[in-house]
Structure 1
């Protein structure tokens, strides 16, 4: 029973988002065994990604309403499900591994889970990103885009923040995990921004704290200074925004494995060097998280590797770098919503968002 239920759970989680592929070592099953009891796994397999009250879930699955409510709430508190609260009414849904239960282990991450997760990332998960749609997208930092360009609100980090009525901040799960393995970096930790119901979930589960839009904008300024890539969720109206480094971030680590990461990201810009102004000072080298810049007397940009973050632009002492729009045929606008992102990701991966048990 034990082996069977965790294989079923892995198969179900593999249907969602960036997937949860099997490995030769079976490390992904060890992760599931650490996070889920067998009872947790059975309940997860009966859930869908559509929010549902405990009462409806109990009636649909022939469970006791009291037991279902208690179990769903317990799993939500442990980061295994998502909980949405509106007017005092709670609803629950299944979540992917990324973005989902991995990030929601922020308050429970220990050395064992950090080690298992890192092994899994290196064996299967990171390389699988090549055939996937990134759950995060890159947008230009600060004032790296020339004012002559009309920047859409969903491409402007501060516009996104200022448009949110409820904001929370939390520590970066990737840096938290890597630091437990002595593989981390010295970049700022409290830099992950959550909005709306995601902010509520983090605060209710004691993983984050509420902040104002002014505080959030100050955090963005600190992140730019520290050389972090701004990556909101890959949709027009994101529920969260990461500020990432190439050392720790799973998405950037996955992109770095690719020969042409710039072709996979959903962005609008790439960096361009003015060869007459560039002095080859190398100030831009450390700022680039994608190894897209080389110096041969002057700086050169590998367009296929550039993800358009703008970090090189804001620290060039000669103003020799700028962001320019990619040709229209190379621009990929973000999906309108999280549901649309899930739908197109599932279509590309050939998976089904309807739970496997409900297809039988």
Structure 2
């Protein structure tokens, strides 16, 4: 175990190990990018509180009790709030009671940096997400965090799971609120001077329901109506972006991904057989009799699968 400047055990290594035990792992990086990433988000005291959290939302009074040996109640609450405001941990309001939980790197801490991420954060995040250990961990998570959906044209869904693969149905089924957010992947590329090949728009990510409420509480994003959200998703489709909602009965986010900027698609493209790591109720096939050889599908595909 490495040591911090004041001689204490490295709290960020402990936090990395704790996060790696959650539903979506956070494996160690041989380059140290994992702990550098965490140090960009958590103060040591915030990290110590986060060690008491899991991916399951915990009532605030239970968090206070769990940290009673380390901090007084008011300090624990203040540390929770400060970590939350930085997008380091998550918050939900259930029955009027604040609940707190740790978040995975993706989808979670990384996407929460939709304001002005620091250069140190972007450097550590970019280095970490390119490691094989993280790629294997994220891609092998079951069930998959995200589900890929078709563009909704020319497809007759004939089974009960069709509504989970229909983004419009997911939006219409959500109680709201709806919040548009900047895509952190394209923002990172923009800061590096690399323009997205598919769209010049940054505000392409959609949060819904509980996640949208969390984003609004932090003062981020732009609240829109369901109709406005659908209009943006339609434009995303027109720009050949891949719509990937959270893989749940009541989706709380929809990512609109490109092959040049998106960390998730970039990861999957580097895998030897990426189809094994996609969750979708559909697959594409070529109708040789109907195909004119126009090449539209080749241009549209964001993972060079055609």
Same fold (TM > 0.5): yes
Provide the TM-score with structure 1 as the length reference. Answer: 0.76
Deviation for aligned residue 1:77: 0.9
Residue 289 of structure 2: aligned partner: 276
> Aligned runs of 1:234-273 on 2, under 5 Å?
234-273=247-286
SS, match of residue 255 in structure 2 = strand
Equivalent in the alignment of 2:140: 131
Q: Report the counterpart of residue 65 of structure 1 in structure 2.
A: 73
**Residue from 159, 168, 176 that aligns with 2:179:** 168
The answer on whether the counterparts of 2:15 and 2:47 sit within 8 Å (CA) in structure 1 is yes
Distance change in 2, residues 1:23/1:50 (3 Å): closer
Distance across 2 between alignment mates of 1:232 and 1:190:
16
Deviations 1:188-229 (A, max 9, x none): 321111111110111121221211111111111101100011
Q: Which whole-Å deviations, capped at 9, do the CAs of 1:277-300 have from their partners, x for residues lacking one?
A: 32222122120112111xxxxxxx
In the other structure, the counterpart of 2:47 is: 41
Counterpart of 1:271 in 2: which secondary structure? coil
Cα shift readout 1:242-295 (whole Å, capped 9, x = no counterpart): 1111112122111111232222211111112222232222122120112111xx
CA distance in 1, matches of 2:244, 2:89: 23
Report the 3-state secondary structure (helix = DSSP H, G, I; strand = E; otherwise coil) of the residue aligned with 1:230.
strand
Q: Does 1:179 align with 2:185?
A: no
Report how far residue 100 of structure 1 moved.
1.6
Higher relative contact order, chain-length normalized (CA < 8 Å, sep 6+) = 1
> Could you tell me which residue of structure 1 aligns to residue 13 of structure 2?
7
Offset, 1:119: 1.3
CA distance in 2, matches of 1:122, 1:247: 14
Instruction: Determine the C-alpha separation between the residues in 2 that align with 1:147 and 1:93.
Output: 36
Alignment partner of 1:195 out of 180, 186, 208: 208
1:111 is matched with which residue?
119
Number of equivalenced pairs: 293
Alignment CA distance shift 1:263-1:53 (3 Å): closer
Tell me the CA shift for residue 130 of structure 1: 4.6
Q: Unaligned regions of 5+ residues in structure 1, if any?
A: 294-360
Q: Distance in 2 between matches of 1:149 and 1:51?
A: 33
SS in 1 for 2:223: strand
Structure 2: runs of 5 or more not aligned: none
Q: Give TM-score, length-normalised by structure 2.
A: 0.88
